[in-house]
Structure 1
């Protein structure tokens, strides 16, 4: 008889094949630029246009200055010499490659300047004014380079599948724990949501988290943790199954709407399952008669300021002592991968390798203390 894990892996392989599982993983990096987007500093279109116009004007002024300083080396069609206006006229028609021919360089110096200076300025002028296509190509090449470097170096990152309300809250919490934005990968099918994530400096992958090739592109096999924040419970189960097959050792945290589906997520390989609807419902119910308790819970789960629940290793000087006698407010002890409440009889003496769940004070960055 086959084990449940083996049946789960077979199911994932069948679903992956049905969804075109290898359509992305076999593609070269440059073809993934539209799928993976590396974070970058954004520049508004108006700013980009103004910069190009300024550079074009600078190139024009340089050409005008060179022509006017060597105006005796040029011949005007009407024979009255070159004025400053003529210099502007010649520089404009020359840089724009119009070249009517009524003003021509005749001296050796003027011709040398045209070869060594005016021609490069002409090229620069055209690049600046017709730079939209070149900018797109440059951006694509730059994205390809950044993508190649990221895929070769990324390890122990966090992948968030789904960037809805739950996914955004999860990202804020991970960022609050000190994780760098470029070590968080967001997977979603909504391009608008990915734009929001990219603006925060996060790496984004456009595609469905139910597909194994999309999760491979997001680096799930090398991820430290995977957060499954899908909008549907059935999608969450499939994403969890796929992620567990790709990353047997990663920590997978899944959100589910209905409590009756918790066991499905557990069987699919989720280490932790959060029932979003019941948790919100309990807080709503508590708020009707004990609103201050809800405020305290919100404070504890908000990492930006106030109080927060944190985890740390037991220090050498604390081994053998009781967690209840520590200066920190200890809520529980993790021993052997299992969480015990602080009042558990076996937790009277801390051991090497234990980890403490405690309440710590978060000082805002703007706080001088």
Structure 2
């Protein structure tokens, strides 16, 4: 893992202090060989003063080595320590500046290339699972930006190939660093419901057309999230509770639901457009198992009489068998499933 610039500076500073302390010790042990123009005596303060001005190459000349042993010590020990001290200071400055320049160049480069990407706020259990599902449908890591207040979480995300931004996602400047204003879809998976509301409000203000999906713990907060601009709200506590109850009543049904939730294996729930061959047919006349039809902004159940015949502008939510190489070649429906209704 690459160390942060401040950590590098701290280590270099500690090394410089060690060099200074060693120089003070050498001068103090050989203090009889030094001459002070002020009082002809060299105490610990004088030794510290001489070491400081010597290592910094200032050299006022008020304290000088006059014995042969002191001069030899300066040649053999003090001079190499002076060079090492300067290397540490200059090297640290150059390295930090180079690292900052490289980082700014890298950030500006990926920001300029980001278009229609996905911003995931929160890289905890929910955020990771959401990202895994997106990757199972073929979304590339470079099209995913993680925003999290924890530097460790962002480091873990960047290790996996995602772009990462450390900061509080309730602040617009943090979201702008993630280029949220140009994102196609936004997933908000924060730890607290009140934080999710603030992030949703900020995200909707910055991007009016993106698809925003938010997770909350308590179902009573779901209406507030929808009012804040979320297109879909997932209640984690209620969903987990319903799955637990279903698994108790019917373990087999619970297994099927888990299979549908886990993208890329077994059965998958996907959204796709109606193909020309299906136009004019009924829901039961298609080859796929259709569970719902999206018509405009309405989601109609498969048995809703209002569906009638399928139209070319409809979208179908179907259950399909997951392809073994789904991650390598994503189905068109999977990549289109997140398109915002505001984008048509």
Specify the SS of the correspondent of 2:147: strand
1:142 to 75, 92, 102: 102
- Does 2:281 align with 1:321? yes
Higher relative contact order (CA closer than 8 Å, sequence separation 6+): 1
Q: Contact 2:136–2:326 (CA<8 Å) still a contact in 1?
A: no
- Cα deviations by residue, 1:85-121 (Å, 9 ceiling, x for unpaired): xxxxxxxxxxxxxxxxxxxxxxxxxxxxxxxxxxxxx
Q: For residues 247 and 91 of structure 2, what CA distance do their matches in structure 1 show?
A: 58
After superposition, the Cα gap between the structure-2 partners of 1:325 and 1:135, relative to the gap in structure 1 and judged at 3 Å, is farther
In the other structure, the counterpart of 1:295 is 255
In 2: Cα distance, 1:264 partner to 1:296 partner: 31
Corresponding residue of 1:312: 272
The answer on 1:270 being equivalent to 2:230 is yes
CA distance in 1, matches of 2:94, 2:195: 41
CA offset digits 1:295-331 (Å, max 9, x no partner):
1111112112111011111111111011211111111
**Match of residue 183 from structure 2:** 223
Work out which of the residue numbers 230, 243, 255 in structure 1 matches 2:215. 255
Q: Secondary structure at the match of 2:227?
A: helix
Counterpart-to-counterpart distance in 2, 1:227 and 1:334: 21
2:260–2:268 contact (8 Å) kept in structure 1: yes
Deviations 1:209-265 (A, max 9, x none): 111110111111111111111111111110100001001111111111111111110
What do you get for the CA RMSD once the two structures are aligned? 2.4
Give the equivalent residue in structure 1 for 2:157: 197
Task: Tell me how far 1:133 sits from its aligned partner.
Answer: 7.5
CA 1:150/1:319 → structure 2, altered by over 3 Å: closer, same or farther?
A: same
* 1:366–1:204 distance in 2 versus 1, CA, 3 Å: closer
| Corresponding position of 1:344 | 304
SS in 1 for 2:306: helix
- Out of 201, 219, 224, the residue aligned to residue 241 of structure 1 is 201
Q: Residue 10 of structure 1 aligns with which residue? A: none
Match of 1:183 among 140, 143, 147: 143
Q: Which residue pairs with 2:60 in the alignment?
A: none
Change (3 A) 1:191 1:42: closer
Q: Judging changes above 3 Å, is the alpha-carbon distance between structure 1 residues 135 and 308 closer, same or farther for their aligned structure 2 residues?
A: farther
Q: Structure 1: how far apart are the matches of 2:146 and 2:281?
A: 42
Aligned to 1:168: 128
1-structure distance, mates of 2:173, 2:101: 23
The separation in 1 between residues aligned to 2:103 and 2:185, in whole angstroms, is 25
Query: For the residues of structure 2 that align with 1:161 and 1:271, how far apart are their CA atoms?
Result: 16
Kept after mapping to 1: 8 A contact 2:137/2:326: no
Large movers: runs of 4+ above 6 Å: 130-135
CA contact (8 A) 2:119 2:186 kept: yes
Using the size of structure 2 for normalisation, the TM-score is: 0.66
1: CA distance between counterparts of 2:115 and 2:326? 32
Count of residue pairs the alignment pairs up: 242
- Structure 1 residues 360, 137: closer, same or farther in 2, change over 3 A? farther
Residue 139 (structure 1) shift: 4.6
Give the conservation status (yes or no) of the 8 Å contact 1:42–1:199: no
Runs of 5+ consecutive residues of structure 1 not aligned to the other structure: 1-40, 44-126
Evaluate the alpha carbon distance shift between residue 134 and residue 307 of structure 1 in structure 2; reply closer, same or farther with a 3 A threshold: farther
Give the deviation of 1:137 after TM superposition: 5.1
1:333 aligns with 2:293: yes
| 1:155 paired residue number | 115
Structure 2, unmatched stretches of 5+, are 4-86, 328-344
